[in-house]
Amino acid sequence: MIRVTIRQFRTEGIVGFALLAALAVVLAVTGPHLAHVYDAFQSSCRAARDCAATTNPVLKMDQPLQSALPFIVILAPALVGLFFGAPLIARELEAGTYRLAWTQSVTRGHWLAIKLGVIGVAAMALCGLITWMANWWQSPLDAVNQNRFGVANFSLLGIAPIGYAAFAFALGAAAGVVLRRTVAAIAVTAVGFTAARLAVTYWVRPHLASPIHESLPLSTGSGPGFLYGDSQGTMDYNAYIQSGGPTPRVGQVVLTAPQVNVPNGWAYLTTAVDEAGRAPTSHYLFQACPVLKQFSKPQQPLQSPAALQACISRLTSTFHTVLTYQPANRFWPFQWAEMGIFLTAALALCGLAYWWLRRQYA
C-alpha cells in the first residue's frame, strides 16, 4: 500500500523534490561566499574595533535571493497543503476511483492511514529541508540582524515550518474528504491555513509564556518622545510609534517610550510609566512642559527642540521605561511549542477526516 501511495503521487513528489533540488543548487552555490564575506568583515572590524559603527556588506549581497527566500519558506507549507493535501483524497472521491480503491483487500482505515502518513511525512520532510537550507544560507544575515525572534522571522526559522506543513497538509486532506472536490478543498485550505497562521502568530504565540517586564531608564535606546493628537492625525517629536502603544486623542499628548532592541529576543512593547506604573496624563505633560502647547498650532515648524529636550530630561527623573519582552533563550522552546500546536491540530484533522469518511461511506 505504501508503494501504491507513492506511485499515485509520483508526479507531485517529483515536482516537489525537483524544486527542492533546484533551490539546493542555488543556495549551495551562493551560500559559502556569503559566509566568507561575513567572516572576513567580522575579523577586519574587530581588528579595527569599529564593528558597532559599520555595517557588514553581507546585507547588500544577493539581494534578489535575500528577498525571495522568505517568500519561499513562507509559501512552502501552504503549497504543500494545496498540492499534496487537497487532492490526496478529493481526487479519488471526485473521479469515483474510490470505488476501485476501497474494494481491493485493504480496509478504509489502513488505506487512509498509509496515504496520510506517507504523503504527510514527505510534505513535512520537504518543508523541513527547505527551511533548513534557507536558514543555513541566511545565517550570516541573521547574525548581523539579530532579529530571529521577531514576528516575521520566527515563522521562517527552525522547526515551526514542519508543523505548518503538517497542518496545511492535514487541512487539505480533511477539506478534500468533506468537500469531495479538489478545487473547493484547495480554496478552503488556502483560507483556513492563512487564518490559522495569523491567529496563532498574533493571538497564541504572545501568550505561550509570560513575558518579562524589565525597568530601564527613560533615556535608553532612542530615548522617549511625544505624540500629539491632531484633528488630521498625529504629530510627533522623536516618538517611536509601536503597535499596542498609546495613541493620543485629539488635543491630547502622550509620552512615548523609546525603542529598545533585544538582540534575538522578542520585544512586545515599551511603555513610559512612573514608579507606580502609571503613564503621565496629557494634563500633567502640558503642565510639566508648556512648550508642548506649540503642537496645537499646526503648520508651524517645530519650535525650540532644545526646550523639548530639556523637558524630556526633567521627566526622566519621574518616569522610566518598562520593556515587555521574551528573552532570546526562549526562542527554541517557543519553536517547539508552535510546532507542537500545529502538529496536534494536524493530528486532530486527520482524525476528523477518518471519522467523516467512515460516517459518509462505511
Partner 1 sequence: MSAVLEASGLGKRYGHKWALSECTLAISSGKVVGLVGPNGAGKTTLLQLSVGLLRPDAGSIAVLGGHPGTGPVQLSRVGFVAPDTPTYSGLSIRDHLWLGAMMNPSWDGKLAESRIDKLGLDPSQKAGKLSGGQRAQLALTMAVAKRPQLLLLDEPVASLDPLARREFLQGLMEVVAEHGASVILSSHLVGDLERVCDYLVVLVDSRVRVAGDIDELLACHYLLTGPRRDHGDLPSDEHVVSESHTDKQSTFVVRTDGPILDPSWSVEQLDLEDLVLAYMAHAIEQDRRPKLEVHS
Residues that bind partner 1 (CB under 8 A): 1, 3-4, 7-8, 11, 95-97, 99-108, 110, 361-362
**Distance of closest approach, residue 107 Cβ to partner 1, in angstroms:** 6
Alpha-carbon distance of 92 to 181, in angstroms, equals 9
Alpha-carbon distance of 168 to 80, in angstroms, equals 7
**Distance of closest approach, residue 123 Cβ to partner 1, in angstroms:** 21
DSSP string, 60-77: GTTHHHHHHHHHHHHHHH
4 versus 143: smaller Cβ distance to partner 1: 4
**Distance of closest approach, residue 8 Cβ to partner 1, in angstroms:** 7
105 versus 210: smaller Cβ distance to partner 1: 105
287 versus 360: smaller Cβ distance to partner 1: 360
94 versus 338: smaller Cβ distance to partner 1: 94
24 versus 101: smaller Cβ distance to partner 1: 101
Could you identify the residue written with the cell 522568505? 70
Q: Please return the burial class of 142, using the count of CB atoms within 10 Å of its CB with bins 0-12, 13-18 and 19+.
A: middle
Cα distances from 224 to residues 3, 271, 318, in angstroms, run 64, 10, 13
C-alpha cell at 272: 513610559
**Distance of closest approach, residue 108 Cβ to partner 1, in angstroms:** 7
Q: Please return the burial class of 338, using the count of CB atoms within 10 Å of its CB with bins 0-12, 13-18 and 19+.
A: buried
15 versus 199: smaller Cβ distance to partner 1: 15
Could you identify the residue written with the cell 522610566? 320
**Distance of closest approach, residue 3 Cβ to partner 1, in angstroms:** 6
Contact 205, 152 (CB under 8 A): no
107 versus 344: smaller Cβ distance to partner 1: 107
**Distance of closest approach, residue 106 Cβ to partner 1, in angstroms:** 5
Alpha-carbon distance of 175 to 349, in angstroms, equals 9
**Distance of closest approach, residue 331 Cβ to partner 1, in angstroms:** 45
* Number of alpha carbons in the 13 Å side-chain half-sphere of residue 158: 19
